[in-house]
Structure formats: C-alpha cells, structure tokens
Amino acid sequence: MVPTRRLSQIFPLFLCVSSLPALAAPTTEITATFKIANDYLIIVPVTINGSGPYDFVLDTGSNNTMLDQKLADELALPHGSERISVGVMGSVTMSAVYANSLSIAGATVAGKDLFLFTSADAKGLPRKVRGVLGEDFLQNFDVLLDYRHQVLQLESGLGTLAATLTGEHLPVQLSGTLQGKSTFRRLIVIGRIQELGDNSPLSLVLDSGVNSLILFRKHLVLGASQHMFEGAAFNSSGLAAMETRTIRKLALGKDEVNDLTVIAHTGQPESDTDGLIPTSLFHSIFISHRGRFVILNPSLPKKNP
C-alpha cells in the first residue's frame, strides 16, 4: 500500500466557484504555536464566535474551511443554503453554517461560511480535531509556516515579513480553471521534474494536507511500479490505482528537492492543477497573498556586527 495521506482523500478537494467575502480585522503581526500530528499535519487553535479554542487542521490545499457537524450544533450556528462545490469527485452538494468570526490567537476574519462534515467523513483525521482551516481564511493574511519551531505567523495590512524575509520570490497563482469555471483560493506554483525536461512545467498546489508529491496525470510518471491505494476519494469504490517512482530532482525556481518519491494517480481525476506538493518538504515557507509570491526556506537578513 502506498504510504501517503491526503485530507482531500478524506474530504473531496472542494473548488468552490463562489463564496461570501470575508474581511480580515486590522492586525500587525500575530504569532501562534502549532502541533504536528501524523508527522506532517499542522494542528492550530481556532476560536469560533469567541468560543474555543478548538483543534483544526491547517490545510493550504483546501479552498474552504470545514467544521464538524457536532460542533456546529453545540455552538448553535445558523444554517445557510446548500452549495454546489466542484472537486476531484465532480460536483458535490454541501451544507454550510455561518460564523460571525473565526480567529487564531487574535488574527480574525469576520463573516465566514463553514462547510459541514460528519464523523463518518472524518476517518483518518487526528482525534479531537474539530475542523479544517482552509485558504478562505488564510488568504486574508501573509503567512509564515515554520516547521522547525512549530510557529505560525499571520500578518494583515502593512507587515514586515515580506520586507525582512530573504529568498527567491517564487510567483504563486491564486486561481485556476476547472470544467470551464474559475477556481479560487489556490496556491499554485510551477515546478519541473528533471526526467520530463524543462519544456514540461507542472502546476502544483502548495499543500500542507499532503505528505507526498502527488500527480494527477498518469503520463507524467512512466515506468513506475503500480499499487492500489485504499482510502482515496477519487472514485466511488474507495480504491484508486496509483503509480510510484523516485525522481532525481524537482525544481521550484532556483530551489531543488532531490530524490523525491512521486505518487501518480492513473485515473487522471479532474483537477485544475497537475498535482499537489507538500509544504512539509521545506523547513519553513512564507506565503504572501498580497504580493502573490512564496519564499521556500526563507531566512532573515544577516545583521552587521
């Protein structure tokens, strides 16, 4: 069995074409600590309408924030209308509730629709996790994920992180196209695999909810060993044929990741990108939503003695 996990294999990778706007409260810089579960999942403390905090998985690959149905009932959150979402399983109708505010350590977003899931949908999530925090929240901030120190920094307004962190500014695309419709709240970067040549760029989602590089097109990985991966939500049977192969080099701008295992889905599920790349490959990553760039393994400028 292929040793990989993905939150969108528990929940579909929802690519909503519309959502209510959310406004970030004015802040300068908020710092919060997080925990690591299953060696790669980021667990953050989230407050809903002033209640909590509750454990949420921070997932940069999820377009929307999702909430446990039981917690929504406990908080008596008002229900909204059902929404149609488009993802790797096709069109999915989901129920939603409305929260007046969602926050991490004081970094607050007002007026949020939260999509509901049940315990049956949450197989594979760590115990006590009550939700998944997605890009609809994170897009309101510049974000620094520091795996080494297990620290999350969020900035809205004119912050200092973008000015002080050094490293290559890798362009990031915040939207895509699927089935002729625009998809939003995406973090898409361009990568190149040495075996495919420089003329075959790959569009990859920076995804904190995955622990392996996953490709959605079978022709991208050739001559690989084939496995049946159980638990994927790509088809109705719950089983998906996957191919694995070790590649020599993945280039992301000037950064390189060597000797990386790639898992390719042989069924070519519908997606607005070529695949998913785990953020945990890097000791830290800075995401500037305002500047539309990311810095992989950023560093602070050296101080003169």
CATH number at residue 218: 2.40.70.10
Residue with the two structure tokens 């912050």 = 159
Query: Does the residue 264 lie in any domain?
Result: yes
Residue 85 has what pLDDT?
57
Of 285 and 230, more confident: 285
Query: Does the residue 165 lie in any domain?
Result: no
Looking at residue 214, its amino acid is I
Query: Does the residue 302 lie in any domain?
Result: no
Could you tell me if 174 and 273 lie in one domain? yes
Could you tell me if 180 and 148 lie in one domain? no
Neighbours of 54 (CB within 10 A): 18
Lowest mean pLDDT among 13-17, 115-119, 143-147, 255-259: 13-17
Concatenated DSSP letters of 98-137: EEEEEEETTEEEEEEEEEEE-TTTTTTSPTTEEEEE-HHH
Could you tell me if 230 and 292 lie in one domain? yes
Q: How far is CA 262 from each of CA 41, 186, 192, 205, rounded to the nearest angstrom?
A: 19, 21, 13, 14
Could you tell me if 122 and 182 lie in one domain? no
Could you tell me if 153 and 174 lie in one domain? no
Could you tell me if 11 and 147 lie in one domain? yes
Whether the Cβ atoms of residue 166 and residue 301 lie closer than 8 Å to each other: yes
Could you tell me if 40 and 102 lie in one domain? yes
The two tokens of residue 37 are 């579960």
- Residue 266 — very low, low, confident or very high, per pLDDT cuts 50/70/90? low
- Residue 284 — very low, low, confident or very high, per pLDDT cuts 50/70/90? very high
Q: What's the rounded mean pLDDT across residues 100-121?
A: 87
- Residue 181 — very low, low, confident or very high, per pLDDT cuts 50/70/90? confident
Could you tell me if 44 and 114 lie in one domain? yes
Of 234 and 238, more confident: 238
C-alpha torsion angle, residues 124, 230, 217, 287 (rounded to 10): 10
**Host domain of residue 73:** 7-158
Domain count, the chain: 2
Task: Find residue 162's DSSP bridge partners.
Answer: none
Could you tell me if 142 and 181 lie in one domain? no
Query: Does the residue 81 lie in any domain?
Result: yes
On the question of pLDDT at 19 being above 60, the answer is no
Could you tell me if 81 and 125 lie in one domain? yes
How far is Cα 278 from Cα 214, in angstroms, rounded to an integer?
A: 9
Query: Does the residue 212 lie in any domain?
Result: yes
The two tokens of residue 200 are 């075959």
Query: Does the residue 305 lie in any domain?
Result: no
Cα 259 from chain centroid (whole Å) = 23
- Residue 177 — very low, low, confident or very high, per pLDDT cuts 50/70/90? confident
How far is Cα 62 from Cα 7, in angstroms, rounded to an integer?
A: 8
Average pLDDT in the chain:
79
Does the predicted TM-score (pTM) go above 0.75? yes
Neighbours of 153 (CB within 10 A): 20
Residue 228 has what pLDDT?
37
Which of 228, 44, 232 shows the shortest CA–CA distance to 123? 232
Domain stop point among 158, 192, 226? 158
Could you tell me if 20 and 142 lie in one domain? yes
On the question of pLDDT at 118 being above 70, the answer is yes
Query: Does the residue 2 lie in any domain?
Result: no
Could you tell me if 38 and 146 lie in one domain? yes
Domain stop point among 124, 158, 192? 158
Residue 12 has what pLDDT?
52
Query: Does the residue 179 lie in any domain?
Result: yes
How far is Cα 305 from Cα 43, in angstroms, rounded to an integer?
A: 38
The two tokens of residue 105 are 């350590």
Task: State what percent of residues in the chain have pLDDT above 90.
Answer: 40
* pLDDT tens readout for residues 241-254: 667 888 888 999 99
Residue 42 has what pLDDT?
95
Domain stop point among 128, 158, 188? 158
Whether the Cβ atoms of residue 67 and residue 114 lie closer than 8 Å to each other: yes
Coil vs helix vs strand at 50: coil
